[in-house]
Structure formats: structure tokens, C-alpha cells
């Protein structure tokens, strides 16, 4: 479906630029959430920031544009802040040949993705280390951290275990993985 949208990424610091991407299709909320979910699942090169992850996860779909207003035919605007963990979703309203924008959602990106796509279990998104990730991706990272922690001794092992518990906090599947693996 040719529902056009812009995806703007506002930096947390005053030195980085605001960058906006334009995607010509599937810009309605469920389609945009599917894009964001692909980015959350993306396991390729991590160099760069959130914009680079979007471009790499969606090759050929996203193009850099000036700002939200650069394309007059967009129907949705997505503004991401806090390294992509917060999103403001706006939809276009036409009244007597006049275009205005209304806010449809504003809050955590992970919750928005999960709600739009009805995600559960390992497919759902969470925020870990200031990034939106799928639970599956978190579990894979945790398994690697657990392998490393088992090789530590003494105080280093205690520190590694405390870090594992901290990272797993609030993600039941990760908490269970850490608890189970540290018993063996």
C-alpha cells in the first residue's frame, strides 16, 4: 500500500543533527511498526546509531530527506527520541483543503510496536541498554554473557552475575534464563 511517511530521529545531544527518513509505502501505523520491529531484530553491523540501523535493516526502502515537511504527500509522521526508544506518531487530517497533524500515540517505542503488531513471547520488543530489541535478541545476547560469566572467578564472577541480573530485570524470559543457567 502506498501510504507515505517520514521517520525523524532527534538526537539527545546538541552536536548531532536531526535526521529524517522517507519511506514511500506502508507508512500506516502497523506497517511502520513492522519496520521498527525489523530494526529491533536486526543483527548486522552495529557501527553508527539508530538511523544507520534503520537504513541497514531496511535496505532500499528508506531514503534520507530534509525533514517532515519535505514531502507534501505523507500521511504519517514518526518522531523518535532517546535513541529511538520513544516515539510520537502523528496522522494527517484534511479539513477544507487544509492539512493538519494530530498525535495518535506518544510513548515507549517498544510498547507501540508490540501493540500495533500484537507481539508476544520472544518476538515482542523491550528496551535494553537504551535500545529497542526483541526478546529473542536479548536472550541470545544473555546466553553469550552467561558463557563469559562462567569463566570468571571470585569478585569478577560476582560482578558479572550481578550485571546479568541487572540486564535481565523486567524481562521474565531473561530472568529465567539467568537463574537456570547459573544453577548449572
What single string gives the DSSP state of each residue in 68-80?
TTS-TT--EEEEE
The residue extents of the domains of the chain are: 5-119, 136-183
3-state secondary structure of 37: helix
Longest dimension (CA), the chain: 71
List, in sequence order, the alpha helices (H) in the chain. 29-41, 50-57, 109-117, 135-149, 154-168, 172-183
Residue 182 has pLDDT above 80, yes or no: no
Tell me the CA distances in angstroms from 54 to 15, 63, 85, 96, 177, one per residue in order. Answer: 21, 10, 13, 36, 29
Under 8 Å between Cβ of 132 and 157: no
Task: Give residue-wise pLDDT tens across range 114-169.
Answer: 999 999 999 999 998 888 999 999 999 888 888 888 888 777 878 888 888 888 88
User: What is this structure's pTM?
Assistant: 0.88
pLDDT in tens, 35-90: 999 999 987 777 788 899 999 999 888 999 999 999 988 999 999 998 899 999 99
Q: Flag the least confident range among 22-26, 157-161, 169-173.
A: 157-161
* pLDDT at 158 (0 to 100): 80
What value does the CA radius of gyration of the chain take, rounded to a whole number of Å? 19
Please state the separation of Cα 60 from the chain's center in Å.
19
- In whole angstroms, give the CA distance from residue 31 to residue 36: 9
Yes or no: say if 17 and 49 are a contact pair by the CB < 8 Å rule.
no
Amino acid at each position: 500500500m502506498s501510504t507515505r511517511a517520514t521517520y525523524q530521529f532527534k538526537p539527545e545531544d546538541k552536536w548531532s543533527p536531526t535526521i529524517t527518513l522517507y519511506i514511500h509505502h506502508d507508512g500506516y501505523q502497523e506497517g511502520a511498526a513492522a519496520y521498527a520491529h525489523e530494526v529491533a531484530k536486526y543483527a548486522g553491523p552495529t557501527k553508527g546509531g539508530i538511523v544507520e540501523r534503520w537504513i541497514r535493516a531496511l535496505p532500499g526502502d528508506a531514503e534520507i530527506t530534509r525533514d517532515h515537511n519535505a514531502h507534501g504527500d505523507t500521511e504519517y509522521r514518526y518522531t523518535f527520541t532517546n535513541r529511538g526508544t520513544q516515539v510520537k506518531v502523528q496522522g494527517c487530517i484534511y479539513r477544507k483543503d487544509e492539512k493538519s497533524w494530530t498525535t495518535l500515540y506518544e510513548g515507549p517505542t517498544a510498547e507501540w510496536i508490540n501493540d500495533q503488531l500484537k507481539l508476544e513471547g520472544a518476538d515482542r520488543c523491550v528496551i535494553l541498554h537504551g535500545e529497542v530489541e526483541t526478546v529473542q535478541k536479548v536472550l541470545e545476547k544473555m546466553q553469550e554473557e552467561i558463557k563469559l560469566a562462567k569463566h570468571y572467578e571470585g569478585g569478577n564472577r560476582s560482578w558479572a552475575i550481578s550485571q546479568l541480573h541487572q540486564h535481565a530485570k523486567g524481562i521474565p524470559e531473561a530472568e529465567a534464563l539467568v537463574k537456570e543457567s547459573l544453577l548449572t
